[in-house]
Chains A and B, each alone.
Chain A
Amino acid sequence: METINYQNFRIEAENICVDYNGKVALYDANLRLKPGQICGLVGMNGAGKTTFFNALTGFVNISKGKIRINGESVRSAQKDQTIAYVPQNEGIDSQFPISVWDVVMMGRYGSMNIFRSPRESDVQAVKDAIERVDLTDHLSTPIGNLSGGQRKRTFLARAIAQRASILLLDEPFSGVDIRTEKLISELFIEFKNEGKTILLSTHDMIHVREFCDLVLLINKTVVAYGETSEVFTPENITTTFGGISPDFLFGPES
């Protein structure tokens, strides 16, 4: 097991810009995260949250700026299995004929041979990961027969099996049951203690307060970034959400 230097940055994004055919989706965005930090990515639909994730994973190319993962390029982070992406439930085809086991095994593909034939260590990693998300009873269940929460846990298990040190989670709490929510929040604490770095997007302001050390408010660019207690203010949130008052967002009690 490699030792973690908690002072080095895991993620460094400097002035990154992403445009799709000339249409700017994200500009001058900065982010720096260290091991063991959990950061919330908050913004409206279309504010560039998914684009930010895509830039970090290398799924889209940045047109300007620089991204360093563990001090190296995104390309070598891909080769090293450094980043795991946990998609939104809506982002995947739930009718795809594939079982829980096969999805989680996909977390190991990047470190397998060209035929993707699992070694004993891959099988063990998949078993362990499935156990951690409490889906051992559903190994061969097709993902189409799972509940939203179970499906979310399947993709979390894939990220665990990958042994990534950075987890990007797109709306991890949307459409999940109470049990899954509890399990995910327990896993977050474990991940944090293992020194993993977590970036999660969410619509839910309560989850930000609960889990996130840091918060990144974006609206095509960074509105505010810093410690949740300092940055997550009604004023900043209002700016992020284009003038909608926080009363509306938080509900009457806050």
Chain B
Amino acid sequence: MELCSFLTLDSFITDPLTHDFMRKALLMSSLVAAVCGFLSSYLTLKGWALMGDAVSHSVMPGVVVAYALGLPFSLGAFIFGVGSVALIGFIKQKSRVKEDTVIGLVFTGFFALGIVLVSKIKSNIDLHSILFGSPLGISLSDVKQTIFISLLVVILLSIFRKDLMLYCFDPRHAKTVGINVFFLHYLLLTCLSLAAVVGLQSVGIILVVAMLITPGATAYLLTDKFDNMTVISVLSAIISSLIGIYVSFWFDLETGGSIVLAQTFIFLFAFLFAPRYGIFKLKKLFAGYK
């Protein structure tokens, strides 16, 4: 480790930027963080954390099959992501098993299928990079794909921002005033699958769910306004990505894990010191000085 480089904050930040792979990693991870952070506010409010977990794990066999067939892996991931949700809905409707149980059994089944497929299909798929992400080894075609998908999701979420908020808040009212609830449901699921695909690259399948849950939860503790919640969620996701990548560079740590840990620390900070909803309510502490 080059500890001498730590002497100035300036070099702490600029040194990594001299490497091409670091510039790419920072850019890609920020983009992914923005997408997941945006979506995260909806998932948090809709109570879809477990659904995020399910979809992100279920894309695994899709990725493997797509690689084997030479298709873009986002396509395979997308089909299996949405497929898993449809299957969850079907089993729930046709059996007496409770929803959380169905979600748990479907996504672990899909995930296991993915792992088995990896071991059977002889290819150059690196299981480790799927599971834990490889933001430092992103190829050019991956960069293009990530940018395309991220933009698509951000545009969709921006257009239907208010409808999705209403759908999360009061779907019955949405239906009553003629808004297409079925469409919004699948729009949110589609965005979730796509976000899982891009998130997979930076933090991997296992930790991508953190990207989809933690920023929203952090923002939820910090504000009572929906728009602010989205902004805070996106910012906290981007900041933790940057922190995670720098820390992993300087201390030679696993990048995906570092990013998620940074998010977790930001959440803990909000949990303890959020002005209204934190344990130590900062507002009250400051009020003493006025």
Residues of A that sit less than 8 Å from B by CB = 21, 54, 57-59, 75, 78-81, 83-85, 87, 91-93, 96-99, 102, 106-107, 109-110, 114-116, 142, 144-145, 158, 162
Chain B residues near A110: list those with CB within 8 A.
177-179
Cβ 8 A contact of B177, one of A81, A98, A114: A81
User: Which of A59, A97, A142 is in CB contact (< 8 Å) with B176?
Assistant: A59
| Contact residues of B between 201 and 223, Cβ < 8 Å to A | 220, 223
On whether the beta carbons of A106 and B226 are closer than 8 Å, the reply is no
Contact of A58 with B45 in the complex, beta carbons under 8 Å: no
- State whether B177 touches A162 (Cβ < 8 A): yes
Taking Cβ atoms with an 8 Å cutoff, the residues of B that contact A are: 45, 93-94, 159, 162-163, 165-166, 168-179, 220, 223-226, 228-229
Report whether A59 and B179 are in contact in the complex, using a CB–CB cutoff of 8 Å. Answer: no
- Residues in A neighbouring B228, C-beta threshold 8 A: 97
B170 adjacent to A106 (CB under 8 Å): yes
CA distance A142 to B228 in the complex (A): 13
A57 near B172: Cβ-Cβ < 8 Å: yes
Alpha-carbon distance between A78 and B172 when the two chains are bound, in angstroms: 11
Provide the bound-state CA to CA distance between A9 and B177, in Å.
Answer: 20
Complex Cα–Cα for A110 and B177 (A): 5
Nearest A residue to B163 by beta-carbon distance? A116
- Known contacts: A85-B172, A106-B173. The answer to whether A97 contacts B229 by CB under 8 A is yes
Contact A78 B229 (CB under 8 A): no
A-B pairs with beta carbons under 8 Å apart, 9 shown: A21-B94, A79-B178, A85-B173, A85-B176, A96-B168, A106-B166, A116-B163, A142-B224, A142-B225
Chain B residues within 8 Å of A79, by CB: 178
- Decide: B224 and A144 in contact? CB cutoff 8 A: yes
Q: Sort A-B residue pairs by CB-CB distance and give the 6 closest, nearest first.
A: A110-B177, A78-B178, A142-B224, A116-B162, A57-B176, A79-B178
